[in-house]
Structure 1
Amino acid sequence: MAQGFCWVELLTSDVEAAQAFYDAVFGWTCAARGHAARDYRVFFHEGDATAGLLKLPEEAKAQGARPAWIGYVASPDVDAEFGAIVAAGGRMHRAPETLEKIGRFAVVADPQGAAFALWTDLTGAKARDLPPMTVGHVGWHELFCDDVEQAFAFYSKRFGWTRGDALDMGPMGVYQLFATGAAPVGGMMKRPPNMPQPFWNHYFTVAALDPTLEKAAHAGGQIVHGPAEVPGGAWIAQCFDPQGAFFSLVAAQR
């Protein structure tokens, strides 16, 4: 069975300001999920947990990390997967660690440098299954990388992802869809020259793009791409929040 993304989390330099921004843009609410060692918060949309919020750790900042969203891939064995990724040429950002009665996680990067996290849930709770492209939640995962074929081979071997359509984008190269179940959940493409390194980009689904972009701009965000229509008729845009974290939007209508 393929292992897919199960969670996204924002690591930011200003938790209060970030919370206010995303609440204003997406209509989320936020609640603390206390842990002895950290102030962890969870965003909710209409009662369903949609994303995490955490202050960027000082040790990560010392290594050059900046505010960013990170995706978590579900793993039945974080330690074994962590070792296999490092052995395959990936990088270790944070060794496996247990949050008592919550979960076990590790932070890694694929062989081309795109960071993501591994997660094993220890709560026993099961999240409600939501239809694809549910408003208020992540609707698409996109990898910007240096070599699409190498990237797909890595994730396919590690997590069982399957190949979808390969879309010809002309000078931008091929956009390779991938699936973790029956339908595609993301794509991989060669990163543009202005992107400093490979990374995972996560798209949040909204009801309509233009009103959401107006909210983002009013709240201090910066729109860097879009609105743009993509194959299939959806509309996307890419933005920075006020603390500099990159995020994207997708909607069925503009």
Structure 2
Amino acid sequence: MAKAANFIWYELMTSDPAGAAAFYGAVVGWNIPAQGEATAGGIDYRMIGRSDGGNAGGVLALGADMLAGGARPGWLGYLEVDDVDATIDAIKADGGAVQMPAIDLPVGRIAMVTDPQGAPFYIMDPIPPEGAGEGESDVFSVTEAQRVRWNELATSDPDAAIAFYKKHFGWGQEGEMDMGALGAYRFIQRGDVMIGAVMPLMEGYPVPMWSYYIGVDDIDRALAAVRANGGTVTNEPMEIPGGEFAMNAIDPQGAPVGFVGPRKG
């Protein structure tokens, strides 16, 4: 692999984009349009706008047919690859599966896959916007609010999952935190940047899945906003290495989500 894969986009699948817009606007400060743009096939898709004018990801409205087919509200990340079809073949050969076959969109070629333990994510060979050149996506940041700051995989087989992502996406794995009876919380790196962690599947995670922690300016303000805007707190803010705080919640439409930021009070 020429370079380690980057998370270049995050997508919220939701049954109520307007409700999600109100919730994430209050908690994170994002601006999500009240009306979606009908894309190919009539799909309702909305961009997530940050205060600095950039995008944090997108919102995909789950239609009645998608919900009837088993789709549920949730967050999915996109990993950049050079060749979607070759990556699909390699993933399938290692025990992964294809959930959505590769398709070409105006923004690039994408497919939805699962790793061998069943955690879903997208792979994408993006087409840079006209005049934008080959710049890096900035939807992920280790430090900035209104961006995803941490990518966390809960899985039934951490050893196998780490080996899979190292092999196919060029990541590293160095360092871990002992969670006692819950096992090891093992950090993953893209180059010299720590992008997240892999942990054993625990109670509350019925199936292997990626979770994403969105940066907020003040964890206590965000906590109050989650409760005031129809969300459910599943883990109260907990101090993490470095002195900031992380929490977990479920948005009003049922998508699990994490938040991370400083305590200012």
Q: Sort the TM-score into its range (normalised by shorter chain).
A: over 0.9
Q: Deviations over 1:41-80 (max 9, x none)?
A: 1111121100210112555433422100001001111111
| Counterpart residue number, 1:3 | 5
Deviation for aligned residue 1:194: 3.2
| Counterpart residue number, 1:35 | 39
Question: Which stretch has the larger CA shift, 12-21 or 125-134?
Answer: 125-134
Is contact 1:33-1:42 (8 Å) kept? no
Counterpart Cα distance in 2 of 1:2 and 1:208:
32
| Counterpart residue number, 1:173 | 183
Identity %: 38
Deviation for aligned residue 1:235: 0.6
Deviation for aligned residue 1:207: 1.3
Counterpart residue identity of residue 17, structure 1 = G
Q: 2:235 is matched with which residue: 225, 228, 235? A: 225
Is contact 2:141-2:149 (8 Å) kept? no
- How well do the aligned residues superpose, as a CA RMSD in angstroms? 1.7
| Counterpart residue number, 2:124 | 119
Q: Deviations over 1:78-114 (max 9, x none)?
A: 1111121112111211000011x31110001100010
Question: Which stretch has the larger CA shift, 196-205 or 16-25?
Answer: 16-25
| Counterpart residue number, 2:218 | 208
Q: 2:89 is matched with which residue: 83, 86, 94? A: 83
Q: Secondary structure at the match of 1:29?
A: coil
Counterpart residue identity of residue 227, structure 1 = P
When normalised by structure 1's length, the TM-score is 0.94
| Counterpart residue number, 2:108 | 103
Aligned residue pairs, count = 253
Counterpart Cα distance in 2 of 1:30 and 1:181:
32
Is contact 1:164-1:184 (8 Å) kept? no
Counterpart residue identity of residue 197, structure 2 = G
When normalised by structure 2's length, the TM-score is 0.90
**Any stretches of 5+ residues in structure 2 without a counterpart?**
none
Matched, 1:73 2:83: no
Pairing of 1:123-138 with structure 2 (within 5 A): 123-124=128-129, 125=132, 126=135, 129=138, 132-138=142-148
Pairing of 1:155-194 with structure 2 (within 5 A): 155-194=165-204
Q: Secondary structure at the match of 1:40?
A: strand
| Counterpart residue number, 2:259 | 249
